Structure 1
Amino acid sequence: MAELILHHYATSPFSEKVRLIMGYKKLTWKSVIVPSIMPKPDYVALTGGYRRVPVLQIGADIYCDTALICDVLEHLTPLPSLYPEPGKGLSRVVAQWADSSLFWAAMAHNLSGKGAADVFAKAPPEAAKAFGEDRKAMSSNMVRLRPGDATSAYKSYLRRLSDMLDDTDYLLGGYPTVADFACYHPLWFTRKRTPSMADILQLTPAVVDWLDRMAGIGHGTMETFDEAQAFEVARASLPHTLLSDSTFQDDHGIPLGSHVTVTAETFGPEPTDGELIAATRTHYTLRRTGERFGTVHVHFPRVGYVLRKVES
């Protein structure tokens, strides 16, 4: 089994999604804690500009975005599956909705009213201000929901999840799929990080019971690690992708070997630059070299990311 290094921080909802999947697949992993806001000099150096959390490092391969991380973990440990037949397409569609529409409605609700006070209760006033400015910069390409609109949408989404749980323990059947893990993490934040805003969950008791079942999965076996150790692992390794598709799919007229950037469509506008060495039906891969970490391959999913050629 390859050594799994998760770069994350404790209160990150998307990191909780991956941590719970580690538990579901009974994996052992190394935990590297990174800052929740900029500056993140080591983290950004390793990724080439990408600053969203988490990323999964395996040797000299850096996997960005939880949708792609899920595919990697599925390849490493196929059972129990995140994408069981016959509904694997449906599970991906629900997960994509959860990571976007559900997530942003939940977080706009969570951080309104007393929720922000919950998050920063033990922090100095300047911490809350710095966090707000950091997230404002990350969401410069987005239209953010107002609190009242977000709460209305969140209530509707919770009712829809409750309907999915009428006759089953998990959203799409008798066992968790990627849809469950994607829907869980914004609700986890409501429950654990913003308890003043968590009464909204009580409107759907079936969802509360499902949250309890999901939380019981746990996080697998975690070992502490640090960024310096992670850099050393990268420097001592050769890139070797665990993504199964390799056929070049040219949708942009950009040949392999080009100097390119990859940027998130919405949240987190910072580009990652490097040499394009893979553009398949599911992902992009950039080669990057640095003195501290050697040569790494940084991987992104196609969906949700924009590829551009850097004109010299």
Structure 2
Amino acid sequence: MSELILHHYPSSPFAEKTRLILGYKNLPWKSVIIPMIMPKPDVVALTGGYRKTPILQIGADIYCDTALISDVLEHLQPEPSVYPEPSKGMARTLAHWADSTLFWTAMAYNAQPKGIAQIFAKAPPEAARAFGEDRKAMSAGMPRLRPSDATAAYKSYLRRISDMLDDRPFLLGEVPCIADFAMYHPLWFTRTQTPVLADIFKITPAVLEWMDRMAAIGHGDVEKFSSAEAVAVAAACSPAPLHDDLFQDEHGIALGSHVLVSGESFGPEPTEGELIAATRMHYTLRRTDARAGTVHVHFPRIGYTLKAATPA
């Protein structure tokens, strides 16, 4: 197996989800710190357009979205599983809710003035403005919760999570599953990045105890790596052969077509390339970059749109 390279930045909540899964599975990984906002030239050299955080690189294969990254890590290291039976379907469904509804509720809560002030306390004023403009571009057209509405919803969600922990150490049993990692990371952001707002957890001490158990998993064996080195790794490698290549056509777009894959909502920047796989779970595009060479960029099907590229 080629080395695992995670492109991320320390305060990224979705990156924290993946960092903990890497630690849970005891998988050594290389850490490439990327910018929080555009421009991200080295990221785009690898992905062709996708710029959400994190991305996982294995040689010349680039995996986008933590839902797919989690599946890839599970395939590489099946034990301990983040999809333990018999509740695998429930865990995936809860994780999807956490990565969408819970995440955006927590972020709206964190975005009240004193939360923003704490996030950017050590940064110049223009940094907060640039971050706001960057995320505005990524979320164009998305409905936004007001902090007051988010506060009410967040409290309800925390109580529901607490109820799940009444008689067990983790959300669905004796060991953590994908739902734990997905529900943890939005709460982690509130607790660690906007601690001025962390009093909200006082209503649910069981949630705080569970968060301590999750944090204790740690990030495992990490080695610093540069962005330029990661691009050079891609250029020196060939993409791995596709094993799961059963074509599932829902669009009337043939393999080999020139296509665009985009996020359904947040982060709509498209990635353009040749469609070489459309399976039950994911899309794969082949693309060539002047610096990164030929790469395969992989996306989950859920949460992403596929369409034919407009002919030049």
TM-score, normalised relative to structure 1: 0.98
Q: Amino acid of the residue matched to residue 217 of structure 2? A: I
**2:93 counterpart residue number:** 93
**1:62 counterpart residue number:** 62
Q: CA RMSD in A?
A: 0.9
Give the SS at the match of 2:63. strand
**1:16 counterpart residue number:** 16
Q: Amino acid of the residue matched to residue 260 of structure 1? A: V
Is 1:142 the equivalent of 2:142?
Answer: yes
Q: Amino acid of the residue matched to residue 61 of structure 1? A: D
List gaps (5 residues or longer) in structure 2.
none
Is the 1:95–1:178 Cα contact (8 Å) retained in structure 2? yes
Is the 1:245–1:281 Cα contact (8 Å) retained in structure 2? no
**2:51 counterpart residue number:** 51
Aligned-residue offset at 1:204 = 0.4
**1:105 counterpart residue number:** 105
Q: Amino acid of the residue matched to residue 170 of structure 1? A: F
List gaps (5 residues or longer) in structure 1.
none
Give the SS at the match of 2:126. helix
**1:300 counterpart residue number:** 299
Q: Amino acid of the residue matched to residue 286 of structure 1? A: L
Aligned-residue offset at 1:133 = 0.7
**2:253 counterpart residue number:** 254
Q: For the residues of structure 2 that align with 1:277 and 1:27, how far apart are their CA atoms? A: 28
Q: For the residues of structure 1 that align with 2:199 and 2:239, how far apart are their CA atoms? A: 47
Is the 1:141–1:269 Cα contact (8 Å) retained in structure 2? no
**2:39 counterpart residue number:** 39
Q: Amino acid of the residue matched to residue 306 of structure 1? A: T
Is the 1:56–1:63 Cα contact (8 Å) retained in structure 2? yes
Q: For the residues of structure 2 that align with 1:24 and 1:141, how far apart are their CA atoms? A: 36
Q: Deviations over 1:15-68 (max 9, x none)?
A: 000000111011110001110001111111210000100000000000000000
Aligned-residue offset at 1:241 = 5.5
Q: Which runs of 4+ in 1 moved over 4 A?
A: none
**1:183 counterpart residue number:** 183
Aligned-residue offset at 1:258 = 0.5
Structure-2 change in CA distance of 1:241 and 1:90 (3 Å)? farther
Aligned-residue offset at 1:183 = 0.3
- Map 1:1-312 onto structure 2 (within 5 A): 1-240=1-240, 245-312=244-311
Q: Amino acid of the residue matched to residue 252 of structure 1? A: H
**How many residues were matched structurally?**
311
Q: For the residues of structure 1 that align with 2:297 and 2:199, how far apart are their CA atoms? A: 41
Aligned-residue offset at 1:245 = 2.8
Q: For the residues of structure 2 that align with 1:25 and 1:269, how far apart are their CA atoms? A: 31
Q: Amino acid of the residue matched to residue 274 of structure 2? A: E
Q: Deviations over 1:197-243 (max 9, x none)?
A: 1110111000000000000000011100011111111111111167x
Q: Deviations over 1:277-303 (max 9, x none)?
A: 000000000001112111000000000
Is the 1:83–1:177 Cα contact (8 Å) retained in structure 2? yes
Q: Amino acid of the residue matched to residue 211 of structure 1? A: M
Give the SS at the match of 1:78. coil
TM-score, normalised relative to structure 2: 0.98
Q: Amino acid of the residue matched to residue 245 of structure 2? A: S
Is the 1:62–1:299 Cα contact (8 Å) retained in structure 2? yes
Q: Amino acid of the residue matched to residue 246 of structure 1? A: D
Q: Deviations over 1:249-284 (max 9, x none)?
A: 000000000000000000011100000000000000
Give the SS at the match of 2:175. coil
Q: For the residues of structure 2 that align with 1:228 and 1:241, how far apart are their CA atoms? A: 25
Q: For the residues of structure 2 that align with 1:292 and 1:41, how far apart are their CA atoms? A: 10
Q: Amino acid of the residue matched to residue 126 of structure 2? A: E
Q: Amino acid of the residue matched to residue 169 of structure 1? A: P
Q: For the residues of structure 2 that align with 1:256 and 1:126, how far apart are their CA atoms? A: 45
Q: Amino acid of the residue matched to residue 307 of structure 1? A: L
Is the 1:95–1:183 Cα contact (8 Å) retained in structure 2? yes
